[in-house]
Amino acid sequence: MSMRSVTSQARRGSMMVEFVIVAIPLLFVIVSLWWMCLGMWQYHTVVEAANYTARIASVHGAGCAGQTCATTVASIAQMFAARAIGIPASQLNVTLTSSALTVTCNPLTTCYSNSSSWPSLAANTALTTQISIVARFTFSSGLATGLGHSASLPTITLAANATEPVEY
């Protein structure tokens, strides 16, 4: 065997070791980046659903009580769930607050059959009356799935708060 072929094989082996040393951390960074993007997308979705639902509810105030434009807790909850695309309603906790009524949907699916009128302003027709929707979603990375049952990664609570003045 010549000296040249031994050197060539040694170089080939060192290239493989260098590739493995670089590829494993790079793969971890790519997977971690994907989970971070998923978390950011879910946060944006929860915020957008809260803002959209609050805007819709704000135009259904005291002037809509007893009329066809009146909304219920169930319709607000279903509207929120429809807007929160990709987030299971069973993992969303939502609190609806108006001047006369606070409803906690923990999880959101518990309010699907609530026929109470919301927002309920109880004759509070001041232009400063506001409604508030607070939503919370617990994000947990799927990286723990690949690490086995003994591994537990921390969860992050993604919270959104939307407050709108009631318009009549």
Domains: count for the chain: 1
Domain of residue 82: give its range.
3-165
Write out the chain's pLDDT in tens, 168 residues. Answer: 555 555 666 566 788 888 889 999 999 899 889 989 999 999 999 999 999 999 998 887 666 766 777 788 999 999 999 999 999 988 999 999 988 889 999 999 999 999 888 887 665 555 567 889 999 999 887 765 655 555 567 788 999 999 998 876
**Both structure tokens of 94:** 């939502």
CA distances (Å), origin 71, targets 38, 115, 134, 151: 32, 9, 18, 45
**88 backbone dihedrals φ, ψ, rounded to 5°:** -65, 130
ω into residue 119 within 30 of 0, thus cis?
yes
pTM given for the model: 0.79
